[in-house]
Amino acid sequence: MNTTESALGRLGELAIEVPSWAYGNSGTRFKVFGTPGTPRTVQEKIADAAKVHELTGLAPTVALHIPWDKVDDYAALREYAAGLGVGLGTINSNTFQDDEYKFGSLTSSNESVRRRAIDHHLECIDIMHATGSKDLKIWLADGTNYPGQDDIRGRQDRLAESLQEIYAGLGDEQRLVLEYKFFEPAFYHTDVPDWGTSYAQTLALGEKAFVCLDTGHHAPGTNIEFIVMQLLRLGKLGSFDFNSRFYADDDLIVGAADPFQLFRIMHEVIRGGGFGKSSGKESGVALMLDQCHNLEEKIPGQIRSVLNVQEMTARALLVDTAALSEAQRAGDVLAANGIFNDAFYTDVRPLLAEWRESRGLPADPMAAYKASGYQKKINEDRAGGQQAGWGA
């Protein structure tokens, strides 16, 4: 079997979770633009996500955000999603929008505020039991704006104590993934600003705690694939939030800003055993999108995103690893770099179109969506009501 055949053979292992909030109205802190057809309920978000999976075969699960996606009956929601051909995935907590969390949530010096934040996460675990979700993802806006504002070491201690209680509530098959972000909305210091802090906190928790790496949460010039490699090496990379950034946490379509970076990341994911199955066992690394679509249409934005990940995964699978290792051992810098770049510059789009058709999928999912009439239908059906968005 040649390299191309081997690469195409492994593409069936690719699964990318899409976020429910990507289908609602979201955007910059200055303006969020409403659009026709935007979901008004979590059920409508799931229906849109199911359309992405129907056309691409790449997005079998939908992540939920609590309380944005709160319902009375999560078992019924799980059934509804299954009827559309998708499952419910990661449960994302939210302790960054209520007034009580102004000075922190899990790190707050106020015991009653911490109690409320911990209880929210325990509620999320209850929801996970009902939805069949495996991962609880925690991202915190906690931090300070001014030197001396709070005891930064004390905040780490309180974070550790809060996480311990949440971790103790996990079921046997459930995991906690802790996301990091180096700034925003706190500008002097952030309580979980980097992979090292997330690693240290999750290492102390135990084997069911992992790091979530958001590709947009790094300073300019950061070698993200090095972090990917290190976390895989340490056995602590739990999940990705894929998006693109030009300046800060821009939450743009993944691969839009730097396709070569996405290729390099996927190369390390594959090399480190974070992709698909190894020796019949799932890697345990969840690939998820975390994006907002403020100018572009939401469903096509998600289709484009999962296709970008698939394309760069295919290119990364084309790296001739045997030849690369030989060139590296020989110290042949240019040959090694050339082998790496040859895979990146390979146009895999015709092969992917054939791959999709062989599985009963449209060769061009973007064109298929445009021709489907789905957007026109939801524009008409979803007139009236309150559109879903950040905080709704």
Q: What is the pLDDT of residues 281-324, one digit of tens each?
A: 688 999 999 998 988 999 999 999 999 999 999 999 999 999 99
Q: What is the 8-class DSSP label of residue 13?
A: G
356 located within any domain: no
Please indicate, yes or no, if residue 203 is contained in any of the structural domains.
yes
- Averaged confidence pLDDT in the chain: 95
Helix boundaries (H) for 133-258: 152-168, 195-205, 224-233
Q: How many Å separate Cα 191 from the centre of its chain?
A: 20
Name the residue type at position 34.
Answer: G
Confidence of residue 279 (pLDDT cuts 50, 70, 90): low
pLDDT value at 200 more than 80? yes
Q: Does 387 fall in a domain?
A: no
C-alpha 25/C-alpha 64 separation (Å) is: 15
Alpha helices per DSSP H over 171-255: 195-205, 224-233
For residue 53, give its domain range: 13-318
Let me know: does 305 contact 291? Beta carbons within 8 Å.
Answer: yes
Calculate Rg over the CA atoms of the chain: 21
User: Has residue 390 been placed in a domain?
Assistant: no
CATH number of residue 290's parent domain: 3.20.20.150
The answer to the question of residue 323 being in a domain is no
Query: What tens digit of pLDDT does each residue of 117-165 get?
Result: 999 999 999 999 999 999 999 999 999 999 999 999 999 999 999 999 9
- Asked if residue 259 has a cis previous peptide bond (ω within 30° of 0), the answer is no
Q: 242 and 290 in contact (C-beta within 8 Å)?
A: yes
Dist. CA 98–CA 170, nearest whole Å = 24
**Would you tell me how many other CB atoms lie within 10 Å of the CB of residue 380?**
10
**What mean pLDDT comes out for the span 369-374?**
98
Three-state secondary structure call for residue 381: helix
* pTM score of the predicted model: 0.95
Number of domains making up the chain:
1
Local confidence band at 112 (pLDDT 50, 70, 90 cut-offs) = very high
